[in-house]
Structure 1
Amino acid sequence: MNEEKPAVLVEARDGVQIITINRPEAKNALNGAVARGIAAAVDELDASEELWAGVLTGAGGTFSAGMDLKAFLTGDVPLVDDRGLGGITQRPPRKPLIGAVEGWAVAGGFELLLACDLVVAADDARFGVPEVKRALVAGAGAAMLLPQRIPQAVALEMLLTGDPITAARAAELGLVNRLTAPGGALEGAVALARTIAANGPLAVAITKQIARSASDWTTEEGWIRQGELMSPVFGSEDAQEGARAFAEKRPPVWKGR
């Protein structure tokens, strides 16, 4: 059944794209419309010459309760081609993406956060991967990626018990970058995104690519690959502008090239 309202809302604020999962009546459960909406939004983010960072959040006080199981039973799955769950778990955007969490981020909703680069959360938010409680596997990234983000024993405890953790515990583990008062996660994430967006966009994108890819490289290969990725940045117009702005004691004006 088609929904009357859009499953995903997208807006721009001062170089920051805000993507909102808009199914609060279903706790922002992920269906095909949500996945396609997120995928289209991050494509716009990466293609835009005016947007330098993105924020992903949920409407109505919940980030996401994960895959919509009712929709799943009808064949409506929240996958987009080879991009994974929600359109981003296997192929995140090139530009930085920040998760802004109010309420619950569990199952597939938690796996969307693992596709984000940074997370800002309200201090009463909750995080979890309860798939084993339903005889399922957290196959949209959590089983593979969570042990890379936090100590393996802690990741296994979350994955094998299915029990949630608090925002404070998530921050202690490094899953959450910043905590806010309830209701403040989006503004906190936008503020962080603006700080990132003020930097050289080519340098930010390539730095993200190197940091995300380095674990797949040997040390020798890493230096080679990093050099290949860095070289165009150092020869870019933005690199010249950064040095010139510093010398002239003025804010830089980036062109993204």
Structure 2
Amino acid sequence: MTDPTTGALTGAAPDPAPEILTERRGAVEWVIFNRPRARNAMTPWMEDRLIEICRAVDADPTVKALALTGAAGDKPAFMAGADLSCLQSVSSPEDFAILETRAEAAAMALEAVRVPTVAVLSGPCIGEGALLASSCDVRIASPSVRFGFPIARTVGNCLSVKNLARLSALLGTARTREMIFSARLLGAADLAAAGAVRTVVAGEDELTAHGQQVAEELAALAPLTLWATREGLRRLRDHDLPPDIDGDLLRRCYLSADYQEGIAAFLEKRPPVWSGS
């Protein structure tokens, strides 16, 4: 479990650097999720910071592409979901609304940013990490990537309809359903078969360089063509989604006894006992 005030695993020293780092490499701005001790799990501060970075990119015409990756630590990781302490705090309709709104704002910032985006994936890419990767234009991966939403066997929450639409656009409806119904994480071969990643590199040591190469290739293309295409596809995906299409679904799951049991079981490292209530 992580401490939301320090960004560290409980009982451990905090990571000394900020939770998100940025690094400019030519025309490419890199965003590095930097909580390796927690497998780069997302915090509210990180969500806000990612939105700020996207706004800064929009205001800087010298940035031509944006690349996202995770700090490796002792093992590679893109992002192992949301920080559990954030999920643990959900106990009212207002709490879950805030949780969903912040996560959606971060995903929308990536989808709306002026420049093309590349997700550079390795290790766990789970929950909110998988949603952020799905919000990028291009994904490349190493063989270690594990992508998905094992929520049906862990905490017992659900995805918003908009996030289901994101995943269906990326993976297809049948594969999205199977991924969630099996609570199985997809590997690099699964993602490649679905067309969800452009390239699977041979090893971890090649990933960053290849990510830079792909981002530079995108940066050299007509920016308005890329922007209009990505925005047009987003509008096609979302045009039939009315407001609050899923409020009842989210409330039923996030405010359930099953959700509280799932969180408790996860912390206690035991299988959850589902009641359907």
Shorter-chain TM range is 0.7 to 0.9
Q: Which of 14, 35, 47 lines up with 1:35 in the alignment? A: 47
CA gap of 1:126–1:78, structure 2 versus 1, over 3 A, is farther
Task: Return the letter of the residue paired with 2:132.
Answer: L
Q: Does 1:132 align with 2:152?
A: yes
8 Å contact from structure 2 (residues 48, 106) kept in 1: no
**Could you say what secondary structure the match of 2:216 adopts?**
helix
**1:78-157 alignment, distance < 5 Å:** 84-85=102-103, 87-91=105-109, 92=111, 93-133=113-153, 134-139=155-160, 141-157=162-178
Shift of 1:70: 2.0
What corresponds to 1:196 in structure 2?
218
CA apart distance, 1:13: 1.0
SS in 2 for 1:109: helix
Q: Whole-Å Cα distance in 2 between the matches of residues 217 and 191 of structure 1?
A: 34
1:78 touches 1:85 (CA, 8 Å); kept in 2?
A: no
Indicate if the aligned counterparts of 1:98 and 1:189 stay in contact, CA closer than 8 A: yes
Distance 1:83 1:204, change over 3 A: farther
Q: Is the 8 A contact 2:162 2:238 kept in 1?
A: no
Quote the residue 1:229 is aligned against: none
Write out per-residue CA displacement over residues 200-220 of structure 1, whole angstroms, 9 at most, x where no aligned residue: 3233322322233234569xx
Query: Residue 63 of structure 1 corresponds to which residue in structure 2?
Result: 78
Matched residue of 2:120: which SS? Answer: strand
Contact between 1:84 and 1:90, CA under 8 Å: does it hold in 2? no
Aligned to 2:144, the other structure's residue is in SS state coil
208, 222, 236: which one pairs with 1:214? Answer: 236
Q: Quick one: structure 1 residues 116 and 140, their matched pair in 2 at CA, closer, same or farther if it must change by over 3 Å? A: farther
Provide the rounded CA distance (Å) in 1 between the counterparts of 2:44 and 2:126.
Answer: 18
Whether the aligned pair in 2 keeps the contact of 1:35 and 1:80 (CA below 8 Å) is no
Say if 1:62 and 1:102, in contact at 8 Å, map to a contact too: yes
DSSP 3-state at the match of 1:136: coil
Summarize deviations over 1:83-142 as a string: whole Å, max 9, x none.
641742234223211100111101111111111111000022111111222211123854
| CA–CA separation in structure 1 for the residues paired with 2:96 and 2:21 | 16
The number of residues matched between the two structures is: 217
Cα distance in 2 between the residues matched to 1:154 and 1:82: 24
Task: State the superposition RMSD in angstroms.
Answer: 2.6
Q: State the SS of the aligned residue for 2:79.
A: coil
Q: Which runs of 5+ in 1 are unaligned?
A: 219-257
Structure 1 match to 2:200? 179
1:210-249 mapped onto 2 (5 Å cutoff): 210-216=232-238
- 1:232 is matched with none
Q: For 1:148 and 1:94, how far apart are their aligned partners in 2?
A: 21
Q: Return the alpha-carbon distance in structure 2 between the equivalents of residues 53 and 151 of structure 1.
A: 26
Closer, same or farther: CA 197–36 of 1 in aligned 2, 3 Å:
same
